[in-house]
């Protein structure tokens, strides 16, 4: 199994609560739409900290090939520019368990 975690900082140009809710809706809308995607959830930070990200994606895939399929999938690719437009920074980690 592969765990895929992404953390973003939101742009100050928009209402952060609205942006976070939109990102959550977009990404969680992929649930059940892409083969090999076992679990997907989006969390919104509730603690004020200068070092914290604003939004985090936690997802699980059957294997590395399923993660690659997800990343290239047209439904995911349609979400990418929408998330990029609302964020200023992105960090990710992928690991096998």
Q: Do 93 and 7 form a contact (C-beta atoms < 8 A)?
A: no
Q: What is the pLDDT of residue 56?
A: 98
Q: Kindly report, residue by residue over 10-66, the tens digit of the pLDDT.
A: 999 999 999 999 999 999 999 999 999 999 999 999 999 999 999 999 999 999 999
Q: Does the pTM of the predicted model rise above 0.85? A: yes
Q: How many CB atoms lie within 10 A of CB 13?
A: 10
Q: State residue 33's pLDDT score.
A: 98
Which domains does the chain show, CATH number per domain?
A: 2-96 (3.30.70.100)
């Amino acid at each position: 199994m592969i765990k895929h975690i992404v953390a973003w900082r939101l742009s100050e140009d928009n209402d952060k609560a609205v942006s976070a809710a939109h990102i959550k809706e977009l990404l969680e809308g992929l649930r059940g739409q892409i083969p090999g995607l076992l679990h997907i959830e989006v969390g919104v930070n509730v603690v004020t900290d200068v070092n914290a990200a604003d939004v985090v994606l936690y997802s699980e895939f059957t294997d590395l090939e399923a993660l690659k399929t997800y990343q290239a999938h047209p439904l995911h690719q349609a979400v990418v520019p929408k998330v990029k437009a609302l964020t200023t920074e992105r960090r990710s980690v992928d690991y096998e368990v």
